[in-house]
Every structure is written in structure tokens, then in C-alpha cells.
Structure 1
């Protein structure tokens, strides 16, 4: 073959390129095999214990622990933290270090930083570091705002602040949108949305600068909302992010305009004038037609825009009567009827994106506002009677029940409260019967009964019924609902029972009668329960009622509360025994309720050291008995150890022993020895299960004493012991020893050296630490993003080779 000429030269070039590709493919294959080997090693390491790898080869190292966060999340976290710290550094420099530099220095520093921050995204975008460019551009916007502030303080000190701010907002918004257009592809996603956000301030600030009243500000906000809607429904131009931001801006500014129209007198009328605000009503009504037009142009946002129009109409109707619940609630009923009619006729679409759905959402918003308005009065009626716990059995004053809601506490609601609740309950029933959406019908069925119960309870208070008839009606309603075979009825009955229990504390006879009646009703409800949840709730509530009776009986004989605690503790022990029971009659709910009542008994017994120690000992003994169950062995054993140890500590503390290590050291050593023996017998036991409790008992008491006051010797000994534990943990690769020992060393070091470190850092400028930390995080985020891009390029190269 000829060796000269263009043919052989091209052949040699092709051969060289093929050899280069073969070398690249070989390297990628080697990397692929290494990754597969690591994955197989992880599978073998997690396989059955005692099975060696195939071929008798030594076991490969275990696979690394999988990461908890995605790479993009880690990158964004680093960049956001870095940008935030740099912004904090810039603000600190502006506010604290500004006066130390002359006018020329100020201008040069800010202009240089701003120019660098605005130019850097161009280079970053060309290198593919889009996320880093977003953060740097945002920092540039912050610097632009600081430039504007600096110009006002230095070049235009006489300019009106509000007018200057309005002009700056408009100029910076336009400049920022133009800057976003100039950037190379793919551009920045946040530039145009940020410009939209800044533009929201221009018109309201201009209205304030021109000494406009509340009406002028409301119209400025409404004009801003109009501009946002026009931008959002534009068929060309803005990006998806800018459209979404415009929608949010329209909601915020339009909502503020509506609130301002309702909260303040408009149209030049004096505050407190009884005449209706016609200007405010016109402003609110003017919102609806454009929103309906936008809904016609944007079917995707039809429901949202219709909801805005409905809210505007409701505001206009309610504004004529100023803020009153009927003025908004009754028109919302009519709006809901219109929405239902449109949905049935199919006008304006069907489903969640229809006009009817939007109007229904607006009506639901007004009805939710009415419910929120009524909630304080309902909450006062429900929880106010618990104030009698601080004045139990003092007796109620004569007169209506609304004046005896608590000791010196009267109900603040009125006749409108049950009226609003009754309308809402009727609406829930109507939605349940006439609605077509299954989810709405389900929720309407769930809220109708609680609303009806709240209506009845508040109606008794509003009508001025006496204490005894009101309490009897509550108990009867609660008992009936508790015995009903329905979850919502049971929950409503529990709420009424809780209110009746609190109110019954006012009279001794009422306490025994109400608790006894409720306990009997709960026992019947447990027998009539249709599911396990209903039965468990009835069991727990019955235990609480019996515990209340156990507390009331000693109180009737004037037994001190620390000794009356043992009657309550008896109910707790009985509940735990019944809950643990046998395999056929086991109830975790009874057991849990017993533990809760035992906690209450311990609080009651804490009035004296002797009773507290005795109660802790009884609880520890019960926990020891529960630990005989195999499935309760570990948690009950730990609880028994803690309770019996606490009983010992309380008894010793009563003897004024001031060294906590005398109480804990022997227990900690015993726990560590037992943990070591357990780990030696069972290699699968982790270091946390083996040594965690012992290390906590060893370090925590001394650590509390060290932080409670200066104690150099104890801190030195504690730090030395924790350091030794950390070294042992590192030597034997035990996580519990490393974590707890290292944390203790760090806490002791922070306590001892913290004041000196704070003093040293105080000598530096305030902006230096956040600036350094922000730059470090920003560099880490950029490096992380570059590594991700390189990994994507390698993956794409590998796919092309295939």
C-alpha cells in the first residue's frame, strides 16, 4: 500500500482518534466495574451474619452510608446560606462601617461591588454555573438597593423619602427587567420575578408621597393589582416565574386594597362616621368585572379569578354595612347559591377550574371568616369553665350562666354568635345533601354536628339560661353523643364533656354528679363501640373520669393533695394492670391512660419529699412488673430503673446531699458494665443500646452542675473523663462513645472558653465573620455545582459511547 498522499494521512488520523476513544472507554469501564463492586460489597455486607464472601476472599469494606439529601438540595443550601451571609455582611458594612470612609471611598466601594456582582453572572452562565449566578445576581440587586440608599443619604439628602423610594422602586424594577433581557442564554429565572416584586412598591409609595389619603392608597394598590393581572394574562413576553409572581402580587395588592377599603373610611369621610362608605363600596365593586374578563381569557386560572371577583363583590356588599358578620355571611349564602346554579347548568365550565368553583371558594372564604370571628366566643365558652380549677368548689354566683363562666369571668359573646354558627351549620347540611363533590360532602358531614353543638351551647349562654340548667343540658347532650355509634358524634360529645367537667368544678355536688354520669356514659359507649378507635377513646376518657373522682373523694374529706395523690395512683395502677392484662384482654389505650394518670399523681405527690419518693417507688415497682412482659421488657425496664433511681435521689436530696455524682456514678458504672457484657454476648447490639444510658447518667448530672455555676475542678475532671471516653470510642469505633463523649468535651470547652472567644471576636469588625462565612459557602456551592456538571458530562459521554 502507498504510505504517502492524503489517504494514508487521513487513515492514521482516524486510527489515532479510535485509540483515544478506546482509552476513554476503557477508563470508563474500569470506573463502572469499581462502582458495581462497591454496590455488590454493600449487598454482601448487609447479608446474613456469618456467611463469608464467595471464593473465600476477605470480606470487602462496607458500602458508604447513603446520603440523606439530594445533590441539588445540598448545592442550593450552600448557595442560599452563602448569599444570605454576604447580604448580612453588606448591610452590616453599610450600617456600622459607613461613617469611617469618605464620600469618594463610599461611592467607589459600592459601585465596584455592584459592578462586580452584576458582571459575574455573565461569566458564570457561560460556564454553566446557573445556580451560583442566581445567587450572585440577587446579591447585586441588594447592592443596587444599598446604592440607592447611599445616594439618598449623600447626594439627595433633601429629597422626600417616600417619593425617592417610589422613584427608586420604579427605576430599579425597570433596570432589573432590562438586565435580565441582556444576560446570555439560558438566562436567570429569578430576575424578572424579582423585578415584578420591586415594582409592587412604586404606586403605593407614590400615593403616600403625594399626601394621599387611605382612599388614594387603596386605588394605587388596586391599580398595581390591575397591572399584575394584565402581566399575568399577557399571551406573550413574561416567563412562567414572572406570571406566577404577578399573580401573587395581584392577590397581595388587591387583598390589601380590599382590606384598606373595609378598615378605613374612604371617600373623604370622617372616621367613625355612621354613613356607609360609598367610595369604598365602589372601589371593591370595581374589582369584579376585570377579574371576570381575565377569567374568560385564562381558562387555566378561571376559578382563581372568579374567586377574586366573588370576594370583591362580597366586600362591596358587606362594606355598605361596615364590618358585621350578617353583612358578609348572608351575601355569601347568595353567592354560594349562584355558584351552585352555575355548576348545575354547566356555565363557565365544570369541575375545580370552573367559574362556579371560584365563586364557591369566595363564599367559603367569607363563611370561614365568619367562623373565625365566632371562634373566640366559642373557645371562651368551651375553655372558660376550666378557670374553676383554681377556685374549685367555691360556688357560682346567682344569675345567668354567661356571668358564671369562671371565677369573675363573663362570656363576651352575643346573640350574633349562635346566629352565625346556626347559618354555617345549615350550610353544611345543605352542602351534604345538594353538593356534587364527594370530598366537600364528606367534610360537610363532619362539621355539621360540631357546628350544631356549638350553636346550641352558645345559644344557652346568649339566652341567659341559669348555671344548673345549662350544665344539665351539656351533660345530657354529651352523654347522648358519646353513646352514639358515630366518630364525629363521639368527638363532639368528648368536647362537650370536657366543658361540662370544667364547669362542674364550681360545685362539690356537681363535680361528683357530672363525673359519675360521664364515666357511666363512657362505659356504655365502650360496649356500644363500632370500631377499635371508638372503644379506645371511650376507655381513655373513662379512666380520666375515674381519676377525677379519685381526686375528688379525698378532697371532700380535706386530705392534703400530696397524700390524695395515692388515690389517683391507685386508679393508674388499676388501669395499667387492666391494660397489660392477658394476651386476650390487652389494651394499650388503658395502659397509656394509666401512665398519664400516674404522671398526674406524681405531680400531686411532689408537694413533699416523702410522698414524692414513695410515689416514685410505687411507679417504679409497677414498671418493674410491666417489664415482665417480653414486648415491654426494654422500655419498661428503662422506666423502672429511672423511677427507682429518682426515688432514691429524691430521698437523698431531702437529706441535703449536694454532690449529684454520689447518686449517679454507681448506677452509671453498673449500666456501662451491663452494656459491655451484653455487647460481648450479642455482637448485633449497637453501642447506643449498650452504653447510651450509662453515658448519659455519667455525664449529664455533672454537666448540669458545670453550667449552673463556676466549678473549675469539676469542669476539668468532666472534660478529662469525656475526652478519655471519646478516645476509647475512636479506638474501638463506637458511635455512642464518640458522639456523647465528643459532645460533652465540646460543651465543657464552650463553657470554659466561650467568654474569651467572644471577647476576641468582638475586636474584629462586625461584618467580617458573616462575610468570610458567606464567601466560603458561596465557593463551596459553586464547586459543588461544577462537580455536578462534570458528572453530567461524563454520564453523557458514556451514553454516547454506547
Structure 2
């Protein structure tokens, strides 16, 4: 690190004020200690003598960098002192200016002058900023920084105090007017009452103009509000006095008239008096007349009143939007937006509530006019909302557009509901929702991406929601065959009584959803939904639309046979055709995401078809063979690696299923037919090993895994991937060298991470494709092995008419062990040997148990000694883990004997096993071997507990019942009191065991 340039000497005031003493080479060692008590610039520790490094943080304190840092600290200290002096002077000048301002205000009559723009009084604990001076901070929070005492401020500003007093005064006057009108009314005649109210109202409404002319705007607003209250009281008084026969009118009609008159009066008053209150008040009162007048009429009239009022509010909003350049009085735009949102929402909700009874109990065919009206009113509300949203006359246009789309869909569906049966109402709403979505996505019209997207999503979501009423029928139809797997080959539709088909309505709705989604996916980018300047942003709709089309179309096709009542062969043929079509699409497409999506759907339909075909023997064989051929072709011909792997795996699984079906057809029990699965699994494992085996000289090194980069076949031979060697025994060339030499590279899964088409395989033939199938074949072999083992276990150990068939289970475990041992011959599958050894040991033990062998040690000890000998020979090669040396031998000898102790009786075997396990434990502790110590200790503990269990049971039964509880409580107290010590002992024990080999 090069030192920074030193500060100037004479011209720089910073360096001039902090020069070291003459002749001093180290400022921190000389000048620092002469000028004052120095501290470390890093950690702040006090330095008592010149030192090369800080005693705490080891920061170097000598050299040119340290000298420059010392000068900078000195300069900053001087600047801080100067700043404090300036702040003190500033506070003094500020106090003088405040005193001068107070004297000028007193001479002018006590009125407070208006503060300059940007000026603000200082408050305790708050920084002061203002136009005076530089406008910099005048102090800190806690009084630091040199700021003098500020003028104490209150919790309320003068404006807030004024508004509070005016509001309270206006409220009291309004209450007094109400009391006068309602209580003290009887003391005056009809003429006096009318004169008092009219005169007082006229005076109150005349005062604000004079007050506004004198600059008392807040007071004028308060008086105007009182005038509004008096106008309402005038209306009440007129009805109570029955002037002009108003008492004969209905209450809601008269109230609507009063609100209309007040709204017109406030609108006219706002033109005469320049106040903020009258015009918003007029807008608010204008919301009530139509709704109140229609309150006693049928429900459609109320919805019509809401729609008319909302349309008027929308017109006002658009007018204000058009006059955005002209001066608008504050509050009117927000009031109009609030009124429109409230009335529009209430209209939509009231219209939906009016249509709800018809949706629940159905519409009569004679109510077509009412249904048309009920549909037209929400449509009017929807068009009003869409117009306001497109003009962006309100803030939240996206939510308004979504709600308008919902109302429009409901309005379009309502006229057609009486024409169809109640079971088909969902179809009507689905068509209406899709129509709204189509209109929203139509490129004709204003370019409003957010509004169009919200409307389209709402319409599509409404169409999807129409399927929800049929979710129980759809779920039952999809899961019923899986619930009857224990009744296979019982005949067509032999899954049980009470079979009820799926209604046809959800099938038609799903077909419409599939068609609409497919049209959107094929259409591609929608210009109206794409943001301006974002080329291709609308393409994001293609992928979800395609997935939605695939999902809805697949489910609808699966439900068609059940909904139409087709025969079982026709249903199976439909499912097979669908599976074949989806598999062909997945194999032929070159885009990764599309192929994976189609393959997933094809796999699901394949499973459904196979399970459905189990109703008949012939259908089962035919379906499995057809599906096997389809997926085998996909495994060999697919363009994407994922589909090839899935095709290989499913083809092997289907082949295993066919072999199992043949075995069951021959009358074999499931435990015997399961060995066919083992045979297919073995063939799959052998094929996986063969297709990955390099053709040519042996490969040194191992591959990375089943789905690794694979072997790459060059022009002159085969080369292993990863860290392997070439065909001549030398190290494998890097990719760059292979490219120069012309060797082909294995194509990647896709052109890019966005699901582009895969690169073509240059020069790779059928052999290269077979190598890629290794992972799929191996995974299918594991699945078949687990399937067969589960069948054998279920048929051998589940209680039945006879005893347990342990020999068959032993044979199955032996077969699985052999398969895993064969798999472990591959260099990249060495860990399979452990599982294979475990299955072979389990097979031996099960065979001994099935043969009623009482002295199992005669069969286990010799093999254990051989395994221990092998382990000792391996241990001679170097330091290895005790588990790999002694683990298998000790486990094969101790575990069967332990099981025999637990299941048998007698005292000789526990004694001998306990003594031997104790010896193993001591040997492991002596030579610090983990495997003998752990296995010997566990075996000894199990034997000891087994032998002591009767005595413990007798002791517990003999003592009073409170003794065990008392002992348990005492143990908990002791452990709790010595918890830390016991915890340390457990940690030491764990560390000691971990240090063993």
C-alpha cells in the first residue's frame, strides 16, 4: 500500500496548524505527546508513551501515514472548535431577530406576521433550519452543538387550535338549532316558526361571503357548514308544519326531495361564495335522492337508481378530468371519486344480491323480462366503471376494471339464465366470462395494458370458477378407480354399486376453457396487453395459457366416457388414445418446457388408463402392451433428454406390470408373481450398465452418476466423461481440444435456460441415445424392485388363512440383495453394496427363522469370522474406519443372536452374548474403535434390559405406586440441579466416541 500524498505545508491551513515539532520524524511519538494526551485513532485507547503499534488493536502508529492521520485529526479538532463558536453566534443572532419581530408585531397591533417560506421555529430537541444565514443545522438533539435556548412551542399549531375552536363552535350551534327546532317548536305559531327558520338560515348563509371577503376563510367555512345543517332543519320543519301538503308524501320520497333541494342550493351557493365546502357538500347530497325515491319500489328500480347516480358521478369525474388544466376547488375531485366508488360498489353488490335467489332456486321461463332487466343494469354499471377506468379519472383503475369485468359478465349471463335448465347455469356464466376476456384482449380500442389485463384475468377466473360447483363429482370420478384396486378384474364398472356419472356441464365448460386457452396460447403476443416499449412482454401469456389449455383439455377428455356413459372398452380406448397423443406431442416437440409439460400430462393419463383397464383381464393386457410400445418409441425417438429418460423408465415399469399381470393370469399368488418384477428389474439394471459401458479399452475412473454428462463417442473411438481417460489410456482432452479435432460434443438440454429448442446431436446415433437412457432404466429398476418387495411382504406377513411365508420373503430379500450387489459392480454405484449386503443378511436371518433353527450362532458365527478376517486384511492397507473393517462382521454375528435372545428363553444364550458383547465393548474402548464400542455397548444394553425386565416389573408391582413417581421426581430434581455438569459429561462422551476410528 503506497502512502497518500502529504498535505501541503504553508498554503494549507490544515497542515499549518498541525505540523510536528522540528526534527521530529514520528509525529505520534513526539508532537502528539507534547500537545496533549493522545489516543489511538482506531480503537480510542489512551497512549501513555510513544509506541510503534497500538497495544489493543495493533494499528501501526509510526511512519508517514500515521503522521498525516495525526495532522488530519488536529485539523478536524480545530474545525470543530470553530463550528461551536459559529453556532453560539448563530443562536445569539436568532434570539435578537425574534425579539425584533416581537416588537414589530406589538407596534402593528398584535397581529402575527406570516412566516417566510421555508422558515420554521426552533423547538426543544429539534434541529433548526431556515432562510437565515446558510440554512445549516443549528444544533443537535440534546442541546449539543452550541444552539441557544429556543422559544418553547406547543403541541398544537395556531391553525390547528383555530380549526378546533371553529369546529366545536359550529357543532354547538348545530345542536342548538336542532334543539330549537325539535323541542321549542310549540311556543311559536306557524308564521313565526317559518319566519325564524327562514330568516336565521338566510342570515347564516349570507355571513360567509362577508367573512371570506375579510380573509376569515376558516370561520366562513364553519358558518357555511352550519347553514347546511339549517337547510336540512328547514326541510324537517316544512314537513312537520305540513306546508304545501308535504306531510302526505312518503317519507323516503320527501327525504329524497329535501336532499335534492339542498344539493342544488349548495351547488348554486358555491358559485356565489368562494368556499371549499359547498360544492363537495352538493356532490355528497346528490347521491341520495334517486336511491331514496326508489327505496319502496322493486329491487331492479333500486339497482337502476344506483346505476343512474353512478353514471352522473362518472360524468362529473370525466368533466373534472377534462378540466384538469383549469383551476378546480380543492376537495371536489376527491369527493366525486369517493362518491362514485361508494355508489358504484353498492349498485354492483345490490344487483348481485338481487340475482342471487334466481341463481339458487332457478329462474322461471316467464321471467325473461325481469332477467333481462337484471342483466342490463349490471352491464350499465360495468360500462360506466370501464369508461372511468379507461379515462383514469380515479386512482385505482386496475381494481375498478376487474370489478367492472365481473359485473359485465354477470350482466351478460343474466338474460339467458331463464332459457336454460338450472344445471346449465354454470355454462352460461362461463361463456359470459370468456366473452368478457375476449373483448378485453381484443386489440381494437385504447391501449391500456393494466386495465385490459385485469379485465381479461377476471373474466377468465370467473369462467374457471364455474367448475367449482362440480368439484365433488370430478374428484370422485378421478379417484374412484384407485379406491377399488383390491377388486381388479371384476368386470366393467365393477367398482361398486351406486355408480353415478359426472354431469355433462363441467365437461362442456372444460372444453370451452381449453379452446379459449389454446387460442390465446396460439395467438401469441397480445398487443393490447403488452406495455408500450416492452417488445414481447405479452408473450408471458402463452406459457400459462398453454398449460391451462392442456390441463382443462386433459381433465375434460378423461371425464368424457364417464359423463356420456360409454362402455368400458370405449373408455379405455379413449384414455389410450389421449395418452398416445400426449406422448407423441412430448416426443416431437423440441422445446424443453413444452416437452416436460406434455410428458407430465402423458404420464398422469398413462397411470389413469392403466388403473382404469384393471376392470377387465383383456383390457389390462392390451392397455399395458399399447402403453409400453408408445413409451418405448418415445424413449428412442424423443427430441428432448427428459422425455427420453421418462419414456425409458415408464416403458420398463409397464413391462414389469405386464409380466406381473401374466403371472396373476396364470393363477400364481402375488408373492410368486412378484418375482417377475425382480426379473424385469434385473434386466433393466443390466441394460443400464451395458449402455453406459464404453466401447473400447476399459475406462479408468468413475462417472459422476446416473445422470452425469455421459460417455461421449468420438470419431475414432469412445471417451469417458468427467475426469476419465481417452481410448488410448491417456488423460481426456479438454472440450476445446476436442472441438479443434472435430470430436462431437453431447448436446445440452436446451439452447438456453428459457426452454429454447435443443441443439441437434451432431454425429450421435442410436448408441448415444441408448447411453442417455441409463438413468431412466436404473430408476425404473429401483421402482420395480420396491414394488415386488412390497407385494411379497404384504402377501407373506399379513395375517391370512395360513402361517407366514417367510421362505418366500427370504428368497425375495436374497434376490434384491443380488440385484444391488450386481449394481455395485459399476464404479459409480459402489454404495449399493451396503444395501445389498443388508438384504442378503436379512435373507439369511429370515431363512433361519423360517426353518425353526434354535442355535442361529452355528450359521452366523462362521460367516462373521470370515467377514472379520476380510476386515483385518483390509485394515493392513492403512488407516480406515472401524465400521468398514469390523462393522459387517460384528453386526452379522451380534444382531441375530440379539433377536434370538428377545424372542426366546433360557439363560445360556444371554449369558454368553452378554459376556461376548462386554468383551467387544472393552476391546473397542481399549483400541479406540468406534464400531466395536457402539455395537458391543448396544448389544450389552439390550441383553441387560431383557434380563432385568422381569425383576423390574416385579419390583414396580411390589412397591407402592407413589414410589416410582417420587423416584422420577427426585431424578428430575437431581438432573435439573446438575444439568450443566451432566451436559458437559454428555459432550465429553460424544467427543470421545467421535474421536474413535
Q: CA deviation at 1:339?
A: 3.8
Q: 1:26 aligns with which of 47, 54, 58?
A: 54
The answer to whether residue 457 in structure 2 is matched with residue 429 in structure 1 is no
Q: Which runs of 5+ in 2 are unaligned?
A: 1-20, 22-29, 61-141, 143-341, 365-369, 527-537, 590-594, 695-769, 797-804, 957-961, 971-978, 980-997
CA separation of 1:667/1:425 partners in 2, compared to 1, >3 Å: closer, same or farther? farther
1:56-85: CA deviation from partner (whole Å, max 9, x where unpaired):
xxxxxxxxxxxxxxxxxxxxxxxxxxxxxx
Q: CA deviation at 1:465?
A: 2.1
Distance 2:890 2:452 in 1: 64
Q: CA deviation at 1:593?
A: 1.0
2:659 aligned residue? 550
1:85 aligned residue? none
Q: CA deviation at 1:557?
A: 2.4
Q: 1:502 aligns with which of 604, 611, 617?
A: 611
CA separation of 1:725/1:454 partners in 2, compared to 1, >3 Å: closer, same or farther? same
1:362 aligned residue? 458
2:542 aligned residue? 441
Q: Alignment partner of 1:475: what SS? A: helix
1:763-791: CA deviation from partner (whole Å, max 9, x where unpaired):
89xxxxxxxx9xxxxxxxxxxxxxxxxxx
1:415 aligned residue? 504
1:203-238: CA deviation from partner (whole Å, max 9, x where unpaired):
xxxxxxxxxxxxxxxxxxxxxxxxxxxxxxxxxxxx
2:784 aligned residue? 597
Distance 1:272 1:659 in 2: 76
Pick which of 522-531 and 370-379 moved more. 370-379
1:646 aligned residue? 842
The answer to whether residue 486 in structure 2 is matched with residue 390 in structure 1 is yes
1:778 aligned residue? none
Given that 1:562 and 1:605 are in contact with CA atoms closer than 8 Å, whether structure 2 keeps it comes out as yes
CA separation of 1:636/1:735 partners in 2, compared to 1, >3 Å: closer, same or farther? closer
Q: Alignment partner of 2:36: what SS? A: helix
Distance 1:543 1:729 in 2: 50
Given that 2:467 and 2:506 are in contact with CA atoms closer than 8 Å, whether structure 1 keeps it comes out as no
Q: Alignment partner of 2:499: what SS? A: coil
Q: Alignment partner of 1:559: what SS? A: coil
Larger radius of gyration: 2
The answer to whether residue 646 in structure 2 is matched with residue 621 in structure 1 is no
1:378-435: CA deviation from partner (whole Å, max 9, x where unpaired):
4444443344532222222xxxxxxx27333625420111111112101211221154
2:495 aligned residue? 406
Q: 1:515 aligns with which of 611, 616, 624?
A: 624
CA separation of 1:760/1:593 partners in 2, compared to 1, >3 Å: closer, same or farther? farther
Q: 1:527 aligns with which of 629, 636, 655?
A: 636
Q: 1:345 aligns with which of 431, 446, 457?
A: 446
**More RCO (CA 8 Å, sep 6+):** 1
Q: Which runs of 5+ in 1 are unaligned?
A: 2-7, 33-125, 127-253, 397-403, 765-772, 774-802
Q: CA deviation at 1:448?
A: 2.1
Given that 1:326 and 1:420 are in contact with CA atoms closer than 8 Å, whether structure 2 keeps it comes out as yes
CA separation of 1:449/1:708 partners in 2, compared to 1, >3 Å: closer, same or farther? farther
Given that 1:614 and 1:647 are in contact with CA atoms closer than 8 Å, whether structure 2 keeps it comes out as yes
Given that 2:389 and 2:401 are in contact with CA atoms closer than 8 Å, whether structure 1 keeps it comes out as no
CA separation of 1:273/1:519 partners in 2, compared to 1, >3 Å: closer, same or farther? closer
The answer to whether residue 39 in structure 2 is matched with residue 14 in structure 1 is no
2:775 aligned residue? 588
Q: Alignment partner of 1:26: what SS? A: coil
The answer to whether residue 569 in structure 2 is matched with residue 468 in structure 1 is yes
CA separation of 1:761/1:464 partners in 2, compared to 1, >3 Å: closer, same or farther? farther
Distance 1:360 1:498 in 2: 35
CA separation of 1:445/1:415 partners in 2, compared to 1, >3 Å: closer, same or farther? same
Aligned length: 515
2:222 aligned residue? none
Q: CA deviation at 1:700?
A: 8.8
The normalised TM-score by structure 1 is 0.50
Distance 1:726 1:285 in 2: 92
Given that 1:729 and 1:738 are in contact with CA atoms closer than 8 Å, whether structure 2 keeps it comes out as no
Given that 2:433 and 2:463 are in contact with CA atoms closer than 8 Å, whether structure 1 keeps it comes out as yes
Q: CA deviation at 1:742?
A: 11
Q: Alignment partner of 2:495: what SS? A: coil
Distance 2:919 2:607 in 1: 53
Q: Alignment partner of 1:15: what SS? A: coil
Given that 1:619 and 1:643 are in contact with CA atoms closer than 8 Å, whether structure 2 keeps it comes out as yes
1:164 aligned residue? none
Give the CA RMSD over aligned residues.
6.2
CA separation of 1:27/1:595 partners in 2, compared to 1, >3 Å: closer, same or farther? same
Q: CA deviation at 1:663?
A: 9.4
Distance 1:369 1:708 in 2: 60
Distance 1:735 1:285 in 2: 82
Distance 2:857 2:964 in 1: 31
2:711 aligned residue? none
Pick which of 667-676 and 416-425 moved more. 667-676
2:831 aligned residue? 635
Given that 2:882 and 2:929 are in contact with CA atoms closer than 8 Å, whether structure 1 keeps it comes out as no
- Where do residues 102-251 of structure 1 align in structure 2 (5 Å cutoff)? none
CA separation of 1:724/1:687 partners in 2, compared to 1, >3 Å: closer, same or farther? closer
